[in-house]
Amino acid sequence: MHRAASLAEEVYEAIFARLMALKIAPGSRITVDNLVRELAVSQTPIREALGRLEGEGLVVKTHLVGYSAAPQITRRRFEELYELRLLLEPEAAHRAAQVMTEAALAELTEAAGVMHRSGGADERGRYSRFARQDAVFHDKIVAVAGNELIRETLAHQHTHFHIFRLMFHARVTEEALDEHEAILAAFAARDADAARRVMRTHIERSYARLLPAFDS
């Protein structure tokens, strides 16, 4: 039972990493048989993983066609996502700083990923791990702020999975980690105004880093 659970998890992680690092290109077909060969496992954990990824908006299942990687978000959708984030996340950070506990701060510090900065040679593995960490970090901040509707609204966009697929770039990770540190520092100081400001800066810089992805 435990073995089966960990195999399912491993298969999920392997496909997730391929999607985030664009080894499976946005919009391209995903063939279960190919994954069976590549990962040397049966169809069952692969179908399970694809179902989970479908729920996360990374995979699309089409009748009679099968699975494909979700298409790249459009520039318009990207602009809308960042507008939504700028409306909600700086205020959530402001609120979170006001009600921050030591326990919540410790959880956020762990989630921020700043503890594991030098992640070894596997750049792409690191990149996909950071995509998830970033999603968890931002979600936890909104959770601390305490508005479940805002949390659901943001979670439903699967923002982090989409934006990290726009390009693969080590700079995206490094700079974002610096900005996460600034957010944590504001939380540690219980400085609500600073938290709002550095969150706004983080989102604005993230936007600027990823915008060139639409140039080509």
Q: Which residues bind Zn ion (CB under 5 A)?
A: 134
The residue written with tokens 């508005």 in the block is 147
Four-CA torsion 31, 37, 42, 48, nearest 10 degrees: -40
Cβ proximity to Zn ion: between 18 and 134 the closer is: 134
* Type of residue found at 165: R
Q: Are 131 and 177 in contact (CB under 8 A)?
A: no
Cβ proximity to Zn ion: between 53 and 108 the closer is: 108
Cβ proximity to Zn ion: between 58 and 198 the closer is: 198
Strand partners, 62: 66
Min CB(179)–Zn ion separation in Å: 7
Min CB(118)–Zn ion separation in Å: 19
Min CB(187)–Zn ion separation in Å: 14
Residue nearest to Zn ion (CB): 134
Min CB(42)–Zn ion separation in Å: 37
DSSP 121: S
Distance of CA 3 to the CA centre of its chain: 27
Give me 78's structure tokens: 């990207």
Backbone angles phi, psi at 75, to 5 degrees: -60, -40
Min CB(182)–Zn ion separation in Å: 11
Cβ proximity to Zn ion: between 10 and 204 the closer is: 204
Cβ proximity to Zn ion: between 10 and 181 the closer is: 181
Whole-angstrom Cα Rg for the chain: 18
